[in-house]
Amino acid sequence: MYRLDRVKLLSFDCYGTLVDWTSGLEEALGELAARHGLRLPSWWLAQDWESVQFELICDRYRPYREILCDATCRVLARWGVRLSPAEAQSVVESLPRWPVFADVPRVLPALARRYQLVVVSNIDDDLLARTLEHLDVPFAGTVTAQQVQSYKPQLEHFRQLLRQYGLRPEEVLHCAFGFRYDLAPAARLGIPTAWIRRGTGEEHPAVAATVVVDSLEELAQRLGVPVPAQEMASR
């Protein structure tokens, strides 16, 4: 069994794990669709968008803001909607305002008192900086797609994380909600993982997470980190 007392650094996926990516994306796409008279479920548009985005990030590296715009235009074009550049850009501009999960501001400051916290994200530096302004959490640093010129699930984010902080894989716990982008590639490098389920369903059949929890509060409990009463959610 893996010993959690070896962990010195907690790395976190941002969008989907700390930020409610699903709600933010569905709202942004739903608003664009409604503006053009499309009565389509926003969850359906978001699922289609995710498939298109994955194809784009598996191609050559481009800034993430370009991928956001491109994926949005392609999805709505399938329904005969030609977005203006400003409309496509509106999704990019909305991203830093997407909602943060309620347990983030309560729990991450407590975790930061024991561990270094690092964000590992498929994002541009400026967009992430604008998002982190709303979190009020003392992160030790970030590893972004812009910095490594690559996108998860490729391994460069995680290689850079180990190089940048001079740690062995077993000294890091990577925390994320998604297997394809995060937990699977981290595991390939021997980095232990915490699956923050966020209601995402069943575990990946080929990847066993080291820790499985439903919230950051539960993660703190598993790590033995006390969360002060004013930071703990009421139950």
> What are the pLDDT digits (tens) for 130-158?
999 988 899 999 999 999 999 999 999 99
CB 211 within 8 A of CB 222: yes
Catalytic site includes residue 13: yes
Shared domain for 132 and 149, answered yes or no, is: yes
Task: Report the distance separating Cα 62 and Cα 71, nearest Å.
Answer: 13
Shared domain for 119 and 136, answered yes or no, is: yes
Shared domain for 78 and 63, answered yes or no, is: yes
Expressed as residue numbers, the domain containing 93 is 21-97
Shared domain for 81 and 166, answered yes or no, is: no
Shared domain for 27 and 83, answered yes or no, is: yes
Q: Is the dihedral of CA 8, 13, 153, 199 positive or negative?
A: positive
pLDDT given at position 84: 95
Element (H, E) at 158: helix 156-165
Q: What percent of the chain has pLDDT over 70?
A: 93
Shared domain for 193 and 122, answered yes or no, is: yes
pLDDT digit string, tens, across residues 12-40: 999 999 999 999 999 999 999 999 999 88
Shared domain for 12 and 122, answered yes or no, is: yes
**Which CATH number do you get for residue 129?**
3.40.50.1000
Picking from 97, 112, 134, the residue at the C-terminal end of a domain is: 97
CA atoms within 13 A on the CB side of 146: 13
Q: At what angle do helices 64-77 and 21-35 cross, to 10 degrees?
A: 50
Shared domain for 174 and 91, answered yes or no, is: no
Q: Of the listed 13, 20, 48, 182, which one is catalytic?
A: 13
Task: Report the distance separating Cα 164 and Cα 160, nearest Å.
Answer: 6
For the entire predicted model, the pTM comes to 0.92
Task: Report the distance separating Cα 9 and Cα 176, nearest Å.
Answer: 14
CB 195 within 8 A of CB 203: yes
Shared domain for 37 and 59, answered yes or no, is: yes
Picking from 97, 127, 153, the residue at the C-terminal end of a domain is: 97
pLDDT given at position 235: 41
Shared domain for 91 and 149, answered yes or no, is: no
Picking from 34, 68, 97, the residue at the C-terminal end of a domain is: 97
pLDDT under 50: residue ranges of the chain? 231-235
CA of 217: how far to CAs of 58, 144, 149, 159, in Å? 33, 25, 33, 28
Shared domain for 86 and 153, answered yes or no, is: no
- How many domains are contained in the chain? 2
Residue 76: phi, psi to the nearest 5? -75, -25
The torsion region of residue 199 among left (phi > 0), alpha (psi -120 to 50) and beta comes to: left
Shared domain for 77 and 104, answered yes or no, is: no
